[in-house]
Amino acid sequence: SMWWGSVPMGAPDTILGIRDKYNKDSSPKKVNLGVGAYRDDDGKPFVLPSVRKAEELIYQKCMNHEYAPIAGEVAFREACAKLAFGDCSQPIVDKTNATVQTLSGTGALRLGLDFINRYWQKKREVWLPNPTWFNHPQICDMLCLPYKKYRYYDPKTKGFDVNGACEDLCRAPEGSVILLHACAHNPTGVDPKKEEWECLSKIIKEKKLFPFFDMAYQGFATGSVDRDAQAVRIFVKDGHQVMLAQSFAKNMGLYGERVGALTVLCGDKCTADKVMSQLKVSIRTIYSNPAINGSRIVKEILTNAELKQQWLVDVKAMADRIITMRKMLREAIEGAGSKHKWNHITDQIGMFCYTGLTPAQVDRITKECHIYLTKDGRISVAGITTKNVAYVAESIHKVTS
């Protein structure tokens, strides 16, 4: 190469690596529990009926393909903010939110952290839960934004380490940015309970820390979009001016459409206007303006009462299938005579489950049983179906006994 020979090889994406190995496996028993997308009970990608309907309605409108505004359409942005904070919440009533359309949740995180990097006057330090989605530290690194980890997952209980988290947040320097998964924590599936969120909100307020919520799974955890927004809404009610990254990849199955939103709550209209103007400058320099197709679908669904109702049913159906698979998996492992405790499978929530399988057990289940998952023992419950659950359970029992 004339110019680029010295470029070091980047780390490969682990999930894609797992998919490649799974695809190469010729065993009829093989199961891929590495997928980060919802699958139906036949293991197939799922297009929500509400999304199909929205696509038909949009098609009938014969719309043009002009540029969208830099921040996205007003109706889309308002619908996103209302979905997250609630129609009658203070920021919505007072219009003190700056909300822009983004390239899905990742784009919202990147834009939000970039904004923090440019304008944050306090401690330039992001605190991430341990563990967290691999892209959180990676985005911080890319922006040269220092980060630390706060305790989150307790391997002993396979649940939330409330004491550890509180202790660590208490010693975070004033003005640090605290990243929180709003619901369905990835990779652990462990969410704080309502009282625990209230406690975190109090500490974050008292210690003058800044909460940045990543909400990639609203509706996908419990099946209710309002219930899943509970953490965000508790914080807002407690007077926090939060930042929020939203994604419609999972809850509308719009993965490849790359549609999401970033909201900065500003407390007053004048600040919201200034923040909005700077977000637009950022967007302009990265991709000028957002894509129109996905946001049209989201807008159609959220602003058409009948379609929205259908969508709420669709999200609940996905969440319910996952909850049912958790129950069946736990019962089947226990039924196989396992001596271990498996309550965490049903206590955890959302797409992912931290099984507690050790790296050696993961190796074994992959080699001997053709079941693919990440080394940390995380399985995607979306990859489990009524057809493979017995086999998966039997295999988990085999490698853990």
Which residues contribute to the site for ligand PLP (CB under 6 A)?
36, 104-106, 133, 181, 186, 214, 216, 247, 249, 255, 260
Q: Toward ligand PLP, which CB reaches closer, 249 or 328?
A: 249
Other Cβ atoms within 10 Å of 238 Cβ, number? 15
Catalytic residue among 114, 214, 228, 314: 214
Q: Least distance (Å) from ligand PLP to the CB of residue 107?
A: 7
What backbone phi and psi angles, to 5 degrees, belong to 177? -95, 125
CB 330 within 8 A of CB 343: yes
Give dist(CA 162, CA 303) in Å, integer: 38
Question: What contacts 24, CB < 8 A, 6 or more positions away?
Answer: none
- For residues 352 and 380, the answer to whether their CB atoms sit within 8 Å is yes
- Please count the helices (runs of H) and the strands (runs of E) in the chain: 16, 13
- Going 219 to 224 to 228 to 229, the CA torsion angle's sign is positive
CB of 87 within 8 A of CB of 241?
Answer: no
Rg (CA), the chain: 21
CA distance 119 to 145: 12
214 belongs to the catalytic site? yes
What is the rounded (10 degree) CA torsion for 362, 366, 368, 369?
A: 110
DSSP category for residue 150: E
CB of 216 to ligand PLP, least distance (A): 4
Taking the C-alpha atoms of residue 129 and residue 147, their distance in angstroms, rounded to an integer, is 10
Q: Active site includes 133?
A: yes
- Residue 120 or 255 with smaller CB distance to ligand PLP: 255
Nearer to ligand PLP, 15 or 68 (CB): 15
| Separation in Å, CA 102 to CA 49, 283, 291 | 24, 9, 9
* Nearest to ligand PLP of 272, 349 (CB atom): 349
Minimum CB distance to ligand PLP smaller for 96 or for 260: 260
Q: How far is the CB of 20 from ligand PLP (least distance, A)?
A: 19
| Among 53, 114, 133, 314, the one annotated catalytic | 133
Give the shortest CB-128-to-ligand PLP separation in angstroms: 11
Name the nearest CA neighbour of 369 among 341, 399, 343, 342: 399
CB of 352 to ligand PLP, least distance (A): 8
From the CB of 208, what's the least distance to ligand PLP, in Å? 25
From the CB of 98, what's the least distance to ligand PLP, in Å? 20
Output the CA–CA distances (angstroms, integers) from residue 274 to 139, 269, 270, 271, 284, in the order listed. 25, 9, 7, 5, 15
φ and ψ at residue 380, rounded to 5 degrees: -90, 115
> Least distance from C-beta 186 to ligand PLP, angstroms?
4
Using CB atoms within 10 Å of the CB of residue 359, give its burial: 0 to 12 exposed, 13 to 18 middle, 19+ buried.
exposed
C-beta neighbour count of 1 within 10 angstroms: 6
Instruction: Based on the residue annotation, tell me whether 339 is a catalytic residue of this protein.
Output: no
State which residue, 159 or 253, has the beta carbon closest to ligand PLP. Answer: 253
Closer of 215 and 325 to ligand PLP (Cβ):
215
Q: Pick between residue 375 and residue 398 the one whose CB is nearest to ligand PLP.
A: 375
Which one of 250, 299, 311, 342 is the catalytic residue? 250
Q: Are 217 and 227 in contact (CB under 8 A)?
A: no
Give catalytic residues, as residue numbers. Answer: 133, 214, 250
